[in-house]
Amino acid sequence: MKRNRIALTGVAVLGVGAIALAGCGSNDPDDSQAESSGGPEFGIAYNADGGHQAWVDAVANSISGTLGIDAVGVPYPDFAGLRDEVTNRSIDSAFRTGWQADYPGLYNFLGPLYATNAGSNDGDYSSEEFDSLLKEGISTTDPDEANELFTQAQEVLLKDLPAIPLWYQNAVGGWSENVDNVEFGWNSVPLFEEITKDGEGPVLVNGTEPQNPLIPTNTNEVGGGKILDAIFAGLVRYQADGSVENDVAESITQDSPTHLTVKLREGLTFTNGEEITADNFIKAWNYGAEQENAQLSQYFFEDIEGFENDPENEIYGAQGEGLSGLKQVDDYTFEITLNKPASDFAQRLGYSAYYPLPDVAFEDMEAFGENPVGNGPYKLAAEGAWEHDVQIDLAVNEDYDGPRTPQNDGLKIVFYASQDGAYNDLLSGNLDVLDQLPDAAFETYEEELGDRSVNQPSAVFQSFTIGEYQEHFDGEEGVLRRQAISMAINREEITEVIFQGTRTPASDFTSPVIDGWTDELEGEEVLEYNPEKAKELWEQANEISPWE
């Protein structure tokens, strides 16, 4: 995700893009598709409700045209169905994956997705060399040294290609004439509290129906995350450029690579009047880590002492007694002891999994998720403010005392089935802010919106994964086939024709907006379009095991 992670780039796309690129990958400009050499079909699965068909078809056409195999898109009706098959390892094709950073650090793009047995390692990748470099990088307190080690770890990924990087996604949004001071952050999300609006009434913004009740540790998708980030405040918050600023925390001290001390600001409250203490954080984190609660963001607590990860015995999470690494010192102070060095742990604490919960949440967590009580700059406008599949109304939390004080009268987050409908409402003045324009608007939005639009890099990465458990894709044969497929994709043409310059071909596994990013990785040529080399690698794989 994690705002996962497989359902990030939910933009509508036009079938015309697939038509325009029908010949992509063919060496003969008059030959729109190379003759298939037979063998099994190579599928790329995607959720049809996310608007991914055009780019998936274009990528498949590029692979087919270059390698002479049958490559096709495999649509699933919705994200949930695709996610279930990926999680259960029952999927028999490649599948689209993506990552929207949880916090602005290189490790966040690497550890959760590719470390052995990591929570979002959907392809079951495992490399001792990669794991060793990753561990060494996260253990050092020198940021430059850490970034160098993460760079070396990425060079291992470029050889093995556990996922096929495609492109970085820009934040491409717009706003109406009714609002001002619209700024998009490092993670492509507008800074809603900074927006001002002419006249009275809430700022109207787009959203999607949350997939689960609004519980911080059980929300890993953009629709629910947008709401949680508005109604809760964490120990720290991320500014527009990704830098960290204290919010509920008065101070966070990294005493060593495995020990932190957190001091809270006194006098802060939830919207029901309950004072926020260290216990509200400890109980919330223990709930999220507990194995039997099976929270979607459970992996965020993996590094805290007391969290167990034993795949052979099907143990993943805290076991009954909670996280032994969380210790309350007094009402406003607690200590965090990690089970392994994690030099960026303090940076992670702005993510929603680490939000505090009031005592009322533990009386009935499911009911709480339908009408959550938070501590952020906004709150639910009233009981029943969440009208499922329609909208949610958020009022300003007048008792919020932090760096995100709203400059407006509240938010009305309207749930749209498609970005096209949202864009039409934006143009007609029935929507104030749209955080992702539909592909159909890429050719016209600058003329239609003028200076009321943005197209800037963000921490979103798009790829597709081919599980190592799938036939023809393990061992040396699998590496050769992944490299061949990667070099068969014409990323430059696809991003230009389909996305009209709102995507940038990837040269690594992270994002250009993250500190430490570099486009000078050894082995990055595997991400460049090279039809001849792709065919050569494919034939080498066929010598190991024929594609049949």
Residue 25 has pLDDT above 60, yes or no: no
- State how far the Cα of 145 lies from the Cα of 112, in Å rounded to an integer: 20
- pLDDT (0 to 100) of residue 264: 98
CA distance from start to end of the chain: 35
What percent of the chain shows pLDDT beyond 70?
A: 93
- The residue-averaged pLDDT of 408-418 equals 95
- The residue-averaged pLDDT of 303-316 equals 92
- pLDDT (0 to 100) of residue 474: 92
- Strands (DSSP E) contained in 483-540 are 503-505
For residue 184, what are the β-bridge partners? Answer: 190
- pLDDT (0 to 100) of residue 8: 35
- pLDDT (0 to 100) of residue 64: 97
Place of tokens 């709401």: 227
- pLDDT (0 to 100) of residue 26: 38
- The residue-averaged pLDDT of 46-70 equals 93
- pLDDT (0 to 100) of residue 1: 34
pLDDT one-digit tens code per residue, 187-238: 999 999 999 999 889 999 999 999 899 999 999 888 999 999 999 999 999 9
- The answer to whether the CB of 399 falls within 8 A of the CB of 382 is no
Determine whether 363 is exposed, middle or buried from the number of CB atoms within 10 Å of its CB (0-12, 13-18, 19+): exposed
- pLDDT (0 to 100) of residue 246: 98
- State how far the Cα of 524 lies from the Cα of 519, in Å rounded to an integer: 8
- The answer to whether the CB of 537 falls within 8 A of the CB of 487 is yes
Instruction: Tell me the domains of the chain and their CATH numbers.
Output: 15-104+119-124+163-169+458-544 (3.40.190.10), 213-390 (3.90.76.10)
> Amino acid letter at 307?
F
For residue 335, what are the β-bridge partners? Answer: 261, 327
CA of 483: how far to CAs of 26, 476, 524, 529, in Å?
A: 18, 11, 11, 11
pLDDT one-digit tens code per residue, 168-193: 999 999 999 999 999 999 999 999 99
- pLDDT (0 to 100) of residue 289: 98
Axis-axis angle for helices 143-160, 128-139 (nearest 10): 170
- pLDDT (0 to 100) of residue 36: 52
Name the percent of the chain in helix, strand, coil, to the closest 5.
35, 20, 45
pLDDT one-digit tens code per residue, 88-117: 999 999 999 988 898 999 999 999 899 998
> Which residue from 306, 305, 298, 300 is spatially nearest to 338, judged by alpha carbons?
305
Q: Which range among 143-147, 309-313, 400-404 shows the weakest confidence by mean pLDDT?
A: 309-313
**Cβ atoms < 10 Å from Cβ of 257:** 16
Residue 79 has pLDDT above 60, yes or no: yes
Residue 3 has pLDDT above 50, yes or no: no
Place of tokens 């919020």: 400
CA dihedral sign, ordered 85, 88, 94, 97:
positive
> Which residue from 406, 87, 388 is spatially nearest to 220, judged by alpha carbons?
87
Structure tokens at 472: 């023809």
**Cβ atoms < 10 Å from Cβ of 109:** 22
- pLDDT (0 to 100) of residue 229: 97
Confidence of residue 35 (pLDDT cuts 50, 70, 90): low
Run of H or E residues at 330: strand 326-330
- The residue-averaged pLDDT of 17-24 equals 35
Confidence of residue 16 (pLDDT cuts 50, 70, 90): very low
> Which residue from 2, 18, 117 is spatially nearest to 61, judged by alpha carbons?
18
User: Is the whole-model pTM more than 0.85?
Assistant: no
Confidence of residue 37 (pLDDT cuts 50, 70, 90): low
Confidence of residue 38 (pLDDT cuts 50, 70, 90): low
Confidence of residue 30 (pLDDT cuts 50, 70, 90): very low
- pLDDT (0 to 100) of residue 418: 87
- The answer to whether the CB of 269 falls within 8 A of the CB of 276 is yes
- The answer to whether the CB of 486 falls within 8 A of the CB of 526 is yes
| Average pLDDT of the residues of the chain | 91
For residue 253, what are the β-bridge partners? Answer: 261
- The answer to whether the CB of 408 falls within 8 A of the CB of 195 is yes
Phi and psi torsions of 166, nearest 5°: -115, -65
pLDDT one-digit tens code per residue, 495-512: 999 999 899 999 999 999
- pLDDT (0 to 100) of residue 80: 81
Place of tokens 């996610």: 83
State CA 202 to chain mean position distance.
28
CA dihedral sign, ordered 323, 325, 327, 332:
negative
State CA 490 to chain mean position distance.
24
Residue 28 has pLDDT above 70, yes or no: no
Confidence of residue 41 (pLDDT cuts 50, 70, 90): very high
Determine whether 147 is exposed, middle or buried from the number of CB atoms within 10 Å of its CB (0-12, 13-18, 19+): buried
- pLDDT (0 to 100) of residue 120: 86
**Cβ atoms < 10 Å from Cβ of 181:** 12
Q: DSSP letter string over 220-252?
A: -SHHHHHHHHHH---SEEE-TTS-EEESSEEEE
Q: Within 13-74, where are the H helices?
A: 15-20, 53-67
- State how far the Cα of 361 lies from the Cα of 412, in Å rounded to an integer: 24
State CA 342 to chain mean position distance.
20
Place of tokens 């490559």: 71
Comparing 83 with 351, the larger pLDDT belongs to 351
Give the length of the chain.
548
Structure tokens at 402: 């932090």
Comparing 443 with 394, the larger pLDDT belongs to 394
